[in-house]
């Protein structure tokens, strides 16, 4: 076989392999906004969750920095509270009024916060071509590198389950269960469905909860 033919085979192999390599570098996992949702739950492994009552204020706390105005949308607050209530009911807990004379076994506090996030993507420039010297005059050309700034909003829902029977050394109630739901806020219509789903997920991944 002529060496030229061999070289062609090797070059052809390299071409196929290099296209494969570049494809491998940038896999597309088909992620959508809801794929960036995370649910974190933490619990006190010594806590006794088998107690029947809990109280939950009718409002959601909006965490905003000191001196800043609360611009967080309140339209989802009722949904958050009702989803928590239905999960607690299905686990056998009974909601009692926060003003009831007997202290509840647990208190659930709910808060939300919204953050602005910024990022920057840099892209390389093309090398500046030095022009064709002998021709003179032709300046050459290049393409400068640069960057694009992007931003997105994330929202978090915090659920804290406190045990009034467990008092910390600083006179605060001890949390026996914490859940944090984090996700990218979008203008799409599925925000309510995502909130419901993720709160349900928080309970689903906490099998130790339950009054019975």
Nearer to other proteins, 55 or 108 (CB): 108
- Helix/strand/coil percentages in the chain, nearest 5: 25, 30, 40
Closest residue by Cα to residue 57 from 34, 27, 80: 80
Nearer to other proteins, 55 or 209 (CB): 209
19: left (phi over 0), alpha (psi -120 to 50) or beta: alpha
Minimum CB–partner distance for residue 106 and other proteins (Å): 18
Minimum CB–partner distance for residue 46 and other proteins (Å): 9
Nearer to other proteins, 22 or 134 (CB): 22
Nearer to other proteins, 49 or 96 (CB): 49
Using CB under 8 A, list all residues that contact other proteins: 1-2, 6, 9-10, 13-14, 17, 20-21, 23-25, 27, 29, 31, 35-43, 45, 117, 154, 182-184, 201, 205-206
Nearer to other proteins, 29 or 135 (CB): 29
42: left (phi over 0), alpha (psi -120 to 50) or beta: beta
Minimum CB–partner distance for residue 125 and other proteins (Å): 27
- If you compute the radius of gyration of the chain from its CA atoms, what whole number of angstroms results? 28
Cα dist from 98 to 10, 39, 64, 102, 107, whole Å: 77, 27, 24, 9, 9
Minimum CB–partner distance for residue 31 and other proteins (Å): 7
Minimum CB–partner distance for residue 22 and other proteins (Å): 11
* Residue 31 CB contacts under 8 Å (≥ 6 apart), including other chains: none
Nearer to other proteins, 113 or 182 (CB): 182
Cα dist from 40 to 88, 161, 180, 204, whole Å: 18, 14, 5, 12
Phi, psi for residue 88 in degrees, rounded to 5: -65, -40
Minimum CB–partner distance for residue 176 and other proteins (Å): 11
């Amino acid at each position: 076989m002529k060496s030229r033919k061999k070289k062609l085979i090797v070059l052809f192999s390299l071409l196929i392999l290099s296209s494969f390599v570049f494809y491998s570098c940038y896999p597309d996992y088909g992620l959508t906004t809801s794929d960036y949702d995370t649910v974190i739950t933490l619990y006190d492994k010594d806590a006794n969750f088998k107690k029947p009552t809990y109280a939950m204020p009718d409002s959601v706390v909006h965490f905003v920095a000191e001196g800043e105005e609360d611009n967080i949308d309140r339209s989802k607050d009722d949904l958050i509270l009702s989803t928590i209530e239905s999960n607690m009911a299905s686990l056998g807990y009974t909601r009692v009024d926060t003003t009831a004379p007997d202290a509840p076994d647990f208190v659930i506090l709910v808060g939300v916060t919204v953050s602005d996030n910024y990022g920057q993507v840099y892209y390389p420039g093309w090398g500046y071509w030095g022009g064709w010297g002998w021709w003179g005059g032709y300046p050459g050309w290049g393409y400068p590198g640069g960057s694009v700034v992007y931003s997105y909003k994330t929202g978090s829902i915090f659920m804290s389950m406190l045990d009034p029977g467990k008092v910390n050394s600083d006179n605060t109630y001890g949390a026996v269960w914490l859940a944090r739901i984090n996700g990218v806020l979008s203008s799409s219509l599925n925000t309510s469905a995502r909130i419901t789903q993720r709160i349900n997920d928080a309970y689903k991944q906490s099998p130790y909860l339950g009054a019975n």
